[in-house]
Amino acid sequence: MSQPLYLQLAQNLQNAIKKGQFPVGSVFPTELELAEQYSASRYTVRAAIAKLEAVGMVSRRKKAGTKVESATPNARYKQTVSSVEDLTAFGEKHARVIYSNEKIVANKKLAGELGCSVGKEWLKLCSLRYSDKNPDEPMGFTEIYIDASYKKIPKLAKDNPSILISHLIESEYGRRIAEIKQDVFAVLLNEEFAKPLQAKAKSPALKIVRSYIDVANEAFQITVTTYPANRYSASTRLRRESK
Residue 162 lies in a domain: yes
Residues 103 and 184 in one domain: yes
Parent domain of 19:
5-73
- In this prediction, residue 15 carries a pLDDT of 93
- In this prediction, residue 6 carries a pLDDT of 81
Residues 64 and 109 in one domain: no
Residue 193 lies in a domain: yes
Which residue type does 102 have? E
Ranges of residues in the chain with a pLDDT under 50 are 1, 75-83
CATH assignment at residue 24: 1.10.10.10
pTM over 0.95: no
- How many C-beta atoms surround the C-beta of residue 176 within 10 A? 16
Residues 44 and 130 in one domain: no
- How many C-beta atoms surround the C-beta of residue 27 within 10 A? 12
Decide which of 43, 73, 103 is a domain's last residue: 73
- In this prediction, residue 82 carries a pLDDT of 41
> Dihedrals φ, ψ of 151, to 5°?
-70, -20
Residue 59 lies in a domain: yes
- How many C-beta atoms surround the C-beta of residue 151 within 10 A? 11
- In this prediction, residue 79 carries a pLDDT of 34
- In angstroms, the Cα distances linking 221 to 5, 50, 201, 226 are 23, 18, 28, 17
d(CA 81, CA 71): 18
Residues 197 and 165 in one domain: yes
d(CA 174, CA 180): 17
> Dihedrals φ, ψ of 72, to 5°?
-135, 150
Q: Whose CA is closest to 174, among 154, 149, 155, 143?
A: 149
Residues 26 and 102 in one domain: no
Looking at the 3D structure of the chain, how many domains does it have?
A: 2
